Structure 1
Amino acid sequence: MSVLERAAAPLPADELAQRLRVGRDERRDFDAALAAFERSGELVRNRAGALLVARRIAALAGRVEGHPDGHGFLVPDGGGASVFLPPHEMRGLMHGDRASVRVSGQDNRGRPVGALVEVLERSQRRIVGRVHLQHGVTYLVPEDRRIAHDIVLPDAGKVKPGQVVTVELVQLPTKHAQPVGRIAEVLGNYADSGMEIEIALRKFDLPHEFPKKALAQAQGFPDVLQQKDIQGRRDLRELEFVTIDGETAKDFDDAVYARREGRDWRLWVAIADVSHYVRHGDALDQEARNRGTSVYFPRRVIPMLPEKLSNGLCSLNPDVDRLVMVCEMAISAQGEVSRYEFYPAVFRSKARLTYTKVWAELSSGKAPAHLATLYEVFKALHRQRQKRGAIDFETVETKMVFDARGKIEKIVPEMRNDAHRLIEECMLAANVCAGNFISERHQPVLYRVHEVPAEDRVAALRDFLAELGLQLPGGAVPRPKDYAQVLERIRARPDFLLLQTILLRSLKRAVYTPQNVGHFGLAFDAYVHFTSPIRRYPDLLVHRALKAILDGKKYDGVDWEETGRHCSETERRADDASRDVEAWLKCYYMRDHVGEVFSGTITGVTAFGLFVTLEDYFVDGLVHISELGRDYFQFDAARHLLYGERTKKRFRLADRMKVKLVRVDVDQRKIDLVPA
């Protein structure tokens, strides 16, 4: 220990043995002693495997993330590996707290284990859950299973067991006592229509009520454009712009128009000029930043901006004058953007079209000239993107159909068509132009970054593809066009969508950051989000950056690093909340089908069982490994496979199987299946 204490840097075990002159016949005892010191927490290893004395390690500060099983993790503020917190360390902590911990050793999986030093900051949010009564004690079971504590409610008043409430903590948990709460809000009964969304809003701490100042600011804008708003803008009101969106859309960010110019085209992409109304630092801006994004639930939207703006002044509704930021592009016959410019304008959408209507007209060959021209532009842009080697994933979304009482009647697929792709391609072109324009002028901004995939994930993907006789070209770090080649090769297979999902899982998640490292999936060197400022805060920042450049100024006063982290987190939060509501609704829907037999496809293989997607229902359930038969099943992660040692029975990703629905737990969002 004294050698390590005096060492200027952590020492590998071999070097420590050499310094201590440990003989070959003593090495086994020496290694055993080191292991004992590690278990006791006196020694720890760094990421390189070198040893250091635990008491020399400074405490790590970070955010606590709870786990339904009672343990937790500390996610360090400065990044790096998360620290495992055993259940006994979590007794005095709650999910969302900030704490400092000292690494005290490693567990049997090699993870750093932490011991609590102090709680730095308690999570202030209210906790939502259901009220229970047992042995005369009323308590709350949190909906967020990452909060492992039940919360005692000494004064429940007239609240009945089974009702959903939010509570404020009046007594924090300790290692020897449960937390105590006070009821702040009674939401209603668990089965009430829309309750799943009310729960999600509070479970994921989603802002859903606008501050009075923000609402007052929004209400203060005139309902129609004033002459002063139009001054200094180009007038595009004569051009035949249209919006193309889904049937239920209410906030229209973008409109498009194109025309032929010889062998080439000119494309206009007009985007709602939200930055004209929402100025840096004002009440609307502060709340938009706080929310980060609009959140889309089945039958309900939590907008980033008040309705006066999101569905009114900023929405590009037909037959009304609107303020827009325009990206005007010259597109060559080969689909290349030869030149572009950005400018503020006033325009008027001529029609609110839907994907269904536009595709019906395009596929019939009877589309009006302005749509036919847009379609030609799309095909040229798309060919160029394929030539560049961008990855073109083909997703299948699902839609829940509800009855008048808010209960799901059925779940149906929503297949994308070329009308969706047309708008997507136009938006990609405008986003790339914005990214290049800002990057070339060295204006800080939030880029939409998609890093190259991690080598270990690429290796696992290659192992899996090899099982199917497929190959991912390229080296340790493949190029986007290598992924595109695989997609093209499997496109005609019946299991295409599933194999595509595996390819997608090997990629990293896109994030917002001021560090421009490019977008791997789209194969762009500089890419920003410019086209949805009504519903995404980074797009609003991009608009401000563009305007600053056009005015010969610099847009500053933003902590770009912190704002990038915040916007990435609010995006994840919105996605998690939407998925949670969908899972709740699907579980509620499937309760009526317990005992029925379904055909399904294995869409996930884990050490504890198989995830099976039920055909025609688009719902996932778990076949636990204990239900697969009297055998010892080995898990092969690389090949996405479970195989029985005795029976040699194999369950592989993409295999079909018959299953019976035996149990649905709405609280846990779990659907249990057994082989039929």
Structure 2
Amino acid sequence: SREGNYILGVHIADVSHYVQEGTQLDLEAYSRGTSVYLLDTVIPMLPFELSNDICSLKPEEDRLTLSLLLEIDPVGRVVSSSVKNSVINSKKRLTYSEVNDFLNGKASSDISEKLRPVSESLKLSHELAQKIRDIRKKRGSVMDISSREVKIIFDEKGRVTDILPQSRGISEWIIEEFMILANETVAEIFNNQGLPFVYRIHDKPDPESMMQLKNYLEALGLKVKIPRNVHPKALQQILEKSKDHPLHSSIERVLVRGMKRAVYSDRNIGHFGLASEAYTHFTSPIRRYPDLVVHRLLKDLIKNAGADLKNHSKNLEESLSKIASWASKRERIANEAEWDLVDMKKVEYISNHVGDSFEGVITGVTKFGIFVELTEKMISGLVHISTLDDYYDFIEDQNILVGRRSKRVFRIGDQLEVKVVRADKTTMEIDFIIVNDNGKTTRRSKRSSPDKSK
């Protein structure tokens, strides 16, 4: 803009124009609550004709959108915002990898030529996203957790042939920063006016789970202070302090496990993980029902300047409370199905590698054995105490196993080589044995029945 500010437009497909409240389409979308992503299969919330055609951006075709227009100062702070009904005509369909190559200076001449008309916008987007991210980090946001996602590779018969870690590039986090800012801005519009709304909330973690995190970090030899009334900044500092630690991903996982689940609510308590005072989901109405509801509320706001929302406040609050609760349940069911399927595929993959050895790292020590995660595959299994080469005592306060004869110590963070000996698709259990430095495996006595405390 003239003042040297950035103008950021976040344009989201106007799904609410096609999915009218109370219609059969709406009732079905509500009952599903969310789209479900099962590896290479999607069970969509809305029909294919909407999700992949009418509400999907296509180059040189007009599409109805709801636009959030933000003016942002040179530091990265929002100066003003407005929401408009709009029509978008996309100029280019880009892929994340093309934009990543371009911003990393690795683009081929063909990609550079394709991106030339939007190259200035892409550079400005990168510049702005960094400024927005800096502000978010300064206030203590801990949501820059590196992705724990994996890519499952199948052969033509649908069998798992490989598991590869997924990494996010520059373009992914640019989009993420813009989405977070858009979601916050929309939530603040409603929060500041005290209007009925569906928020995305994230409560503070319990002191007990923070104590478990502290114990885990101390077992790794990291001394940290976690105040009883924890602020996200303290957790952010833990992630910063441990970013070069070989067990950084495990530290992240323990930290995430210690946090509450984010859910939907008509009552705003803020979002702890993002260190945000008000947050919502507005950016994916095609695949999440709460976003669709937020779009309807925004359109009412545009049309009636909030008068209608205030007039119907009581009824609206009751229906929004019900929607938020149901959407949270549906999201949880979808998430668990997605995670379970990935875990099943991991067991399927490793069952084809019984007898093979892998590099791993100890992520947990218990009285019945040690949990090891394969470094490259992000697959966890148990080395049962009965397979070790000595009688081992579990020293609970230090979270270690110590061999009586050899005095060998196993602790969280130790790197070792393990061999796969069992993978049970029914119980989802994976067993390893340790491979000695000389390449021979340790003595393996008979295993007792699986320990259910895993």
- How far 1:530 sits from its partner (Å)? 0.5
Match of 1:452 in 2: 204
User: Percent sequence identity over matched residues?
Assistant: 39
Q: Secondary structure at the match of 1:459?
A: helix
Match of 1:434 in 2: 186
Specify whether residues 590 and 261 from structure 1 end up closer, same or farther in structure 2 by C-alpha distance, changes over 3 A only.
farther
Q: Deviations over 1:324-352 (max 9, x none)?
A: 11110011111111111111111112122
Q: Is it true that 1:375 corresponds to 2:126 in the alignment?
A: yes
Match of 1:351 in 2: 92
- How far 1:474 sits from its partner (Å)? 5.3
C-alpha distance in structure 1 between counterparts of 2:419 and 2:174, whole Å: 42
C-alpha distance in structure 2 between counterparts of 1:437 and 1:625, whole Å: 57
Match of 2:241 among 484, 489, 493: 489
Match of 1:48 in 2: none
- How far 1:436 sits from its partner (Å)? 0.3
Task: Look up the equivalent residue of 2:290 and give its one-letter code.
Answer: P
Specify whether residues 605 and 363 from structure 1 end up closer, same or farther in structure 2 by C-alpha distance, changes over 3 A only.
same
Between the two structures, name the one with larger relative contact order (CA 8 Å, sep ≥ 6): 2
Match of 1:523 in 2: 275
Specify whether residues 630 and 518 from structure 1 end up closer, same or farther in structure 2 by C-alpha distance, changes over 3 A only.
same
Match of 1:599 among 359, 363, 366: 359
C-alpha distance in structure 2 between counterparts of 1:340 and 1:411, whole Å: 43
Q: Is it true that 1:582 corresponds to 2:350 in the alignment?
A: no
The answer on whether the counterparts of 2:198 and 2:264 sit within 8 Å (CA) in structure 1 is yes
C-alpha distance in structure 2 between counterparts of 1:635 and 1:431, whole Å: 47
- How far 1:593 sits from its partner (Å)? 1.1
- How far 1:579 sits from its partner (Å)? 1.7
C-alpha distance in structure 1 between counterparts of 2:369 and 2:246, whole Å: 24
Match of 1:270 in 2: 11
Match of 1:625 among 385, 394, 401: 385
- TM-score, normalised to structure 2's length? 0.86
Q: Is it true that 1:671 corresponds to 2:413 in the alignment?
A: no
Q: Is it true that 1:329 corresponds to 2:329 in the alignment?
A: no
Q: Secondary structure at the match of 1:593?
A: coil
The answer on whether the counterparts of 1:606 and 1:635 sit within 8 Å (CA) in structure 2 is no
- How far 1:646 sits from its partner (Å)? 6.8
C-alpha distance in structure 1 between counterparts of 2:2 and 2:173, whole Å: 23
Q: Secondary structure at the match of 1:353?
A: coil
Task: Look up the equivalent residue of 1:370 and give its one-letter code.
Answer: S
C-alpha distance in structure 2 between counterparts of 1:469 and 1:673, whole Å: 26
Q: Which runs of 4+ in 1 moved over 3 A?
A: 466-474, 555-558, 604-609, 638-650
After superposition, the CA RMSD in angstroms is: 2.1
Higher helix share: 2
C-alpha distance in structure 2 between counterparts of 1:648 and 1:477, whole Å: 40
Match of 2:371 among 611, 615, 619: 611
The answer on whether the counterparts of 2:282 and 2:295 sit within 8 Å (CA) in structure 1 is yes
The answer on whether the counterparts of 1:453 and 1:477 sit within 8 Å (CA) in structure 2 is no
Q: Secondary structure at the match of 1:412?
A: strand
- How far 1:581 sits from its partner (Å)? 1.5
Specify whether residues 512 and 606 from structure 1 end up closer, same or farther in structure 2 by C-alpha distance, changes over 3 A only.
farther
The answer on whether the counterparts of 1:634 and 1:645 sit within 8 Å (CA) in structure 2 is no
The answer on whether the counterparts of 2:220 and 2:413 sit within 8 Å (CA) in structure 1 is no
Q: Secondary structure at the match of 2:175?
A: helix
Q: Secondary structure at the match of 2:330?
A: helix
The answer on whether the counterparts of 1:396 and 1:416 sit within 8 Å (CA) in structure 2 is no
Task: Look up the equivalent residue of 1:377 and give its one-letter code.
Answer: L
Q: Note the 1:496-575 alignment, pairs <5 A.
A: 496-552=248-304, 553-554=308-309, 556-557=315-316, 559-575=319-335
Specify whether residues 530 and 464 from structure 1 end up closer, same or farther in structure 2 by C-alpha distance, changes over 3 A only.
same
Q: Secondary structure at the match of 2:279?
A: coil
C-alpha distance in structure 2 between counterparts of 1:288 and 1:273, whole Å: 15
Task: Look up the equivalent residue of 2:56 and give its one-letter code.
Answer: S
- How far 1:305 sits from its partner (Å)? 0.5
- How far 1:448 sits from its partner (Å)? 0.9
Q: Secondary structure at the match of 2:153?
A: strand
Match of 2:35 in 1: 294
The gaps in structure 2 that reach 5 residues or longer are 107-111, 436-454
Q: Note the 1:199-210 alignment, pairs <5 A.
A: none
Higher strand share: 1
- Report the structure number with the largest CA radius of gyration: 1
Q: Secondary structure at the match of 1:604?
A: strand
- How far 1:471 sits from its partner (Å)? 4.1
Q: Deviations over 1:618-662 (max 9, x none)?
A: 3222223333355354363x7654455676543322221221111
Task: Look up the equivalent residue of 2:361 and give its one-letter code.
Answer: T
The answer on whether the counterparts of 1:401 and 1:409 sit within 8 Å (CA) in structure 2 is yes
Task: Look up the equivalent residue of 1:297 and give its one-letter code.
Answer: L
C-alpha distance in structure 1 between counterparts of 2:16 and 2:263, whole Å: 22
Specify whether residues 464 and 671 from structure 1 end up closer, same or farther in structure 2 by C-alpha distance, changes over 3 A only.
closer
Q: Secondary structure at the match of 1:551?
A: helix
Task: Look up the equivalent residue of 1:486 and give its one-letter code.
Answer: I
Q: Deviations over 1:488-537 (max 9, x none)?
A: 12222232222222222221111111121110110100100010111111
- How far 1:586 sits from its partner (Å)? 2.1
C-alpha distance in structure 2 between counterparts of 1:673 and 1:342, whole Å: 56
Specify whether residues 521 and 281 from structure 1 end up closer, same or farther in structure 2 by C-alpha distance, changes over 3 A only.
same
Match of 2:410 in 1: 651
The answer on whether the counterparts of 1:324 and 1:345 sit within 8 Å (CA) in structure 2 is yes
- How far 1:362 sits from its partner (Å)? 0.6
- How far 1:277 sits from its partner (Å)? 1.0
The answer on whether the counterparts of 1:452 and 1:507 sit within 8 Å (CA) in structure 2 is yes
Task: Look up the equivalent residue of 2:157 and give its one-letter code.
Answer: R
Match of 1:399 in 2: 151
Specify whether residues 412 and 292 from structure 1 end up closer, same or farther in structure 2 by C-alpha distance, changes over 3 A only.
same
Specify whether residues 604 and 513 from structure 1 end up closer, same or farther in structure 2 by C-alpha distance, changes over 3 A only.
farther
C-alpha distance in structure 2 between counterparts of 1:550 and 1:480, whole Å: 34
- How far 1:275 sits from its partner (Å)? 0.9
* Matched length: 416
Specify whether residues 263 and 655 from structure 1 end up closer, same or farther in structure 2 by C-alpha distance, changes over 3 A only.
same
- TM-score, normalised to structure 1's length? 0.59
Q: Secondary structure at the match of 2:166?
A: strand
Q: Is it true that 1:417 corresponds to 2:169 in the alignment?
A: yes
Specify whether residues 609 and 291 from structure 1 end up closer, same or farther in structure 2 by C-alpha distance, changes over 3 A only.
farther
Q: Is it true that 1:314 corresponds to 2:55 in the alignment?
A: yes
C-alpha distance in structure 1 between counterparts of 2:101 and 2:398, whole Å: 42
Q: Secondary structure at the match of 2:149?
A: strand
The answer on whether the counterparts of 2:7 and 2:72 sit within 8 Å (CA) in structure 1 is yes
Task: Look up the equivalent residue of 2:67 and give its one-letter code.
Answer: V
Task: Look up the equivalent residue of 2:120 and give its one-letter code.
Answer: A
